[in-house]
Amino acid sequence: MRQSGHQLVDVASEPDWQRLDTLIQRGEWRLLNDVHLTASQQVPTHLLLAWERRYPTPWLLATNLTNPRLILRLYHRRMWVEETYGDLKDNGFDLERSALCHFLRLSRLALRFAFPRGRMTGLPRSAFLTCGWVRC
């Protein structure tokens, strides 16, 4: 879960509670294991702090995972899912107003929408063509 920079964290290597945004600089990433988040709740968690140079703000992620690459990959995917949901819901596509109720028609429409985004899912294009429900 993404955290804001003003959250306080208790890191074993630091004597006092620290603001999250003071623990990272542009162009670096850090994985902090077994920390406590927020002084009032003291929630045990792991933190991945990542700030790519091209982004204006860092990603400050609280997680139960300890593999930094997996955490970043899952968070990238989450962002893609949220954007896709927004496209389907409100941003021009407006699936609800299509009034499609039949499963086969909805699946064809979803498939048509998925082709341009197929590379983002990590699946080869052939995976979309060989599904049984596509050829209905």
* pLDDT tens for the 136 residues of the chain, in order: 999 999 999 998 888 999 999 999 999 999 999 999 998 889 999 999 999 999 999 999 999 999 999 998 998 888 888 877 777 776 666 667 777 777 787 777 777 766 655 555 555 555 444 444 343 3
DSSP class per residue in 13-41: TSSS-EEGGGS--TT-EEEEEEEEE-TTT
pLDDT of residue 39: 85
pLDDT at position 103: 75
pLDDT value, residue 135: 38
- For the chain, where are the E strands, in sequence order? 8-10, 18-19, 29-37, 43-50, 59-63
The residue count for the chain: 136
Rg (CA), the chain: 20
pLDDT for the residue 9: 95
Q: What is the pLDDT of residue 133?
A: 39
